[in-house]
């Protein structure tokens, strides 16, 4: 990289033309020259900077690799959790089906027991009704016999 040289003679002439005296013009040009030389990077400065940049890039690449490894580990953990969830869901669904079958069987047993009680109650009512009919028939027969004897 070529940096154009600072023409100190021309700078002094320009400052004198702007009403600077010799001492002032030379002082300003010296200050500007020093300032310009301090801000210029040397090849050694650039080499150091390049090494620092390369070191930083290598560090960033290492960190990126570490992050990728961590991401892979997290993905593995997520897959394991998903597997566990699927297993739990399967177990839960199986248990729910078992409970449903148990409840259905228990309800069927209860229904059968209640139905048996209703049948027993129905038979008793029939027997009672039949007893009432027989009692009425007997009463009517007795009334008829009494009426016949009175005649």
Per-residue pLDDT of the chain (151 residues; tens, 9 = 90+): 455 677 888 888 888 888 989 899 888 888 887 777 776 777 888 899 999 999 999 999 999 999 999 999 999 999 999 999 999 999 999 999 999 999 999 999 999 999 999 999 999 999 999 999 999 999 998 899 998 998 7
- CA-only gyration radius of the chain, Å: 57
For residue 70, what pLDDT is reported? 98
For residue 3, what pLDDT is reported? 58
Task: Give the whole-angstrom CA distance, residue 25 versus residue 14.
Answer: 9
N-terminal to C-terminal alpha carbon distance within the chain: 156
For residue 1, what pLDDT is reported? 47
For residue 39, what pLDDT is reported? 67
- Model-level pTM? 0.46
Looking up tokens 């023409």 gives 7
Question: Are the C-beta atoms of residues 12 and 25 closer than 8 Å to each other?
Answer: yes
Question: Are the C-beta atoms of residues 105 and 97 closer than 8 Å to each other?
Answer: no
For residue 128, what pLDDT is reported? 94
Element (H or E) spanning 53, and its range? helix 43-150
* Angle, helices 8-17/22-39, rounded to nearest 10 degrees: 140
């Amino acid at each position: 990289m070529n940096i154009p040289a600072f023409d100190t003679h021309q700078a002094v002439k320009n400052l004198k033309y702007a009403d600077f005296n010799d001492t002032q013009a030379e002082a300003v040009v010296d200050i500007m020259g020093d300032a310009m030389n301090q801000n210029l990077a040397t090849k050694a400065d650039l080499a150091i900077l390049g090494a620092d940049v390369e070191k930083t890039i290598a560090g960033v690449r290492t960190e990126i690799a570490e992050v990728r490894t961590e991401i892979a580990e997290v993905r593995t953990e997520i897959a394991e959790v998903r597997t566990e969830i699927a297993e739990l869901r399967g177990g839960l669904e199986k248990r729910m089906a078992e409970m449903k079958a148990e409840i259905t069987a228990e309800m069927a047993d209860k229904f059968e027991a209640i139905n048996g009680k209703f049948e027993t109650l129905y038979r008793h009512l029939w027997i009672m009704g039949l007893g009432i009919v027989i009692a009425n028939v007997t009463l009517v027969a007795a009334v008829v016999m009494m009426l016949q004897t009175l005649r």
